[in-house]
Structure 1
């Protein structure tokens, strides 16, 4: 593979001008005054890997656990307007490596250590992550922590909306500065790279899942991205992993299985290897979490995602139909 691929560039300015607008539209903006009342019929306990999820009533019962670390991945202004008591703020943009030419790639070691310290995470911590956007950004933080082999972290199913509906109060007081520290061990089992995928295109048993929304699939970031998909990909937008409406709770497992089958996936994923990608790596984390919780054999995030693949003329694509 020549230097043209290695020099793939995806303009951060183009993303901030257009991509973030897409995120705001797709994920919604929820402040403390906008909290809707979701169905409390949480799917968390019904997933085979329910250790990745927690529902609001369970979190309410554990709120006084001294080992609990709650992390709010919403906008700073929304966090200040009201958050789960004791929650610290971790902005999703801080999980991105600003010096990487491909937008959305996970932050490097120094940046991760800063986030862990800010979040006050220690080896014996019980971490819960949430946001107001269906778990899109909180799942990215969970995936990042698992990439350091820290596994005692769960996503609050339904986010702040579910907490509000369960009778949880909101706070505006912010905890003192954290002093967290972990000894990370790299977990490459949940990460995929472009060269891995390129070498394995068409391989039986490998399922590539494009989780971009309809609008993201035609996004070009000011003509820096091609329109298409990785050859052989199935398509299931990430918003199809959630129940509709203002209360973004994960689908129940049977419903998610049905949507995956309709997209072309096998009925039994327990022996499958799935690589998920989105417009950029951050947006692939929620589908990764849902598929992992569903019991798929091996699930990885292609961190470069379409921000890398779509920008490189060295990598093959299947044009979009129509």
Structure 2
């Protein structure tokens, strides 16, 4: 199955037992109508939630509980969707990659695209048989921490993709002890990779759009936002383009609150 899955491609797969659709939409939107068989998962389950960097990974024990609860096994193919254009769906897929589970797809455009296509919705409660999966952080997991970023700043083979708004990037809007951006970071707000004319699908010219900004996959990329929610989508876009991309889950909520991290604004 492709990494980026169109709604029409998913329809004939709905009855396949090894495919689990996980919907990270707001609970009220999920209850109002979801893809038949889709499991609702609150996004909070994928984040540590502790200040100053709430976007960091939860403990392995907590992640194990979450993935057992949705019935994940080594044979499961996860299809992730949400109601906002891919941030929370991307966060789930990034987390799967971190634990070495690579059988997954993103429903392009999520519930916006599914509903716009007039495809079936259900309000039925979905029952899940829990699994007994054991998980661990995979070797080569696509994550990077503050110290690793600090060590590589200025290297020719490394760049930062800041998925926050221009106001956050410039320091005009301050959401931490310090405002601004990691030195040299390229700003491309996450929503710029969504096509509002195509129900928030990933824009078809994403590769060319990013190349014009200097992000072309020739360097290893570390992407971040404030809490690794918006940057989970930019990670997903980068991965779909074949870029060598990691995410910094501490994001600006950590970098901007550390006393000795360098900042530009």
Instruction: Indicate the TM-score class for this superposition, using the shorter chain for normalisation.
Output: over 0.9
Aligned to 1:304: 250
Q: What is the Cα deviation at residue 283 of structure 1?
A: 2.1
* Count of residues paired in the alignment: 262
Q: Please list every run of at least 4 consecutive aligned residues from structure 1 whose deviation after the TM superposition is greater than 4 angstroms.
A: none
Query: How many angstroms apart in 2 are the aligned matches of 1:99 and 1:134?
Result: 25
Query: How many angstroms apart in 2 are the aligned matches of 1:118 and 1:245?
Result: 36
1:260 aligns with 2:260: no
Query: How many angstroms apart in 1 are the aligned matches of 2:44 and 2:201?
Result: 23
Q: What is the Cα deviation at residue 190 of structure 1?
A: 0.2
Q: Secondary structure at the match of 2:196?
A: coil
Aligned to 2:231: 284
Checking the alignment, whether the CA contact within 8 Å between 2:64 and 2:135 is kept in structure 1 is no
Query: How many angstroms apart in 2 are the aligned matches of 1:81 and 1:168?
Result: 14
The TM-score with structure 1 as length reference comes to 0.77
Q: What is the Cα deviation at residue 205 of structure 1?
A: 1.3
Q: What is the Cα deviation at residue 286 of structure 1?
A: 0.7
Checking the alignment, whether the CA contact within 8 Å between 1:219 and 1:225 is kept in structure 2 is no
Q: Secondary structure at the match of 1:189?
A: coil
Query: How many angstroms apart in 1 are the aligned matches of 2:131 and 2:51?
Result: 25
Q: Secondary structure at the match of 2:182?
A: coil
Query: How many angstroms apart in 2 are the aligned matches of 1:256 and 1:202?
Result: 25
1:231 aligns with 2:183: yes
- Partner residue of 2:88 out of 137, 140, 146: 137
Checking the alignment, whether the CA contact within 8 Å between 1:243 and 1:250 is kept in structure 2 is yes
Query: How many angstroms apart in 2 are the aligned matches of 1:206 and 1:239?
Result: 23
Q: Secondary structure at the match of 2:74?
A: coil
Aligned to 1:110: 61
Query: How many angstroms apart in 1 are the aligned matches of 2:50 and 2:210?
Result: 35
Checking the alignment, whether the CA contact within 8 Å between 1:211 and 1:278 is kept in structure 2 is yes
Aligned to 1:194: 146
Deviations 1:40-84 (Å, cap 9, x if unpaired)? Answer: xxxxxxxxxx83221101100111111111111011111111100
Query: How many angstroms apart in 2 are the aligned matches of 1:257 and 1:311?
Result: 33
The TM-score with structure 2 as length reference comes to 0.93
Query: How many angstroms apart in 2 are the aligned matches of 1:95 and 1:216?
Result: 24
1:272 aligns with 2:219: yes
- Partner residue of 2:165 out of 209, 213, 224: 213
Query: How many angstroms apart in 1 are the aligned matches of 2:61 and 2:197?
Result: 38
Aligned to 2:97: 146
Aligned to 1:183: 134
Query: How many angstroms apart in 2 are the aligned matches of 1:154 and 1:62?
Result: 12
Q: Secondary structure at the match of 2:229?
A: helix
- For the aligned residues, what is the CA RMSD? 1.7
Point out the structure with the larger helix share: 1
1:318 aligns with 2:261: no
Any gaps of 5 or more consecutive residues in structure 2? none
Deviations 1:213-244 (Å, cap 9, x if unpaired)? Answer: 235444433xx332111001111111111112
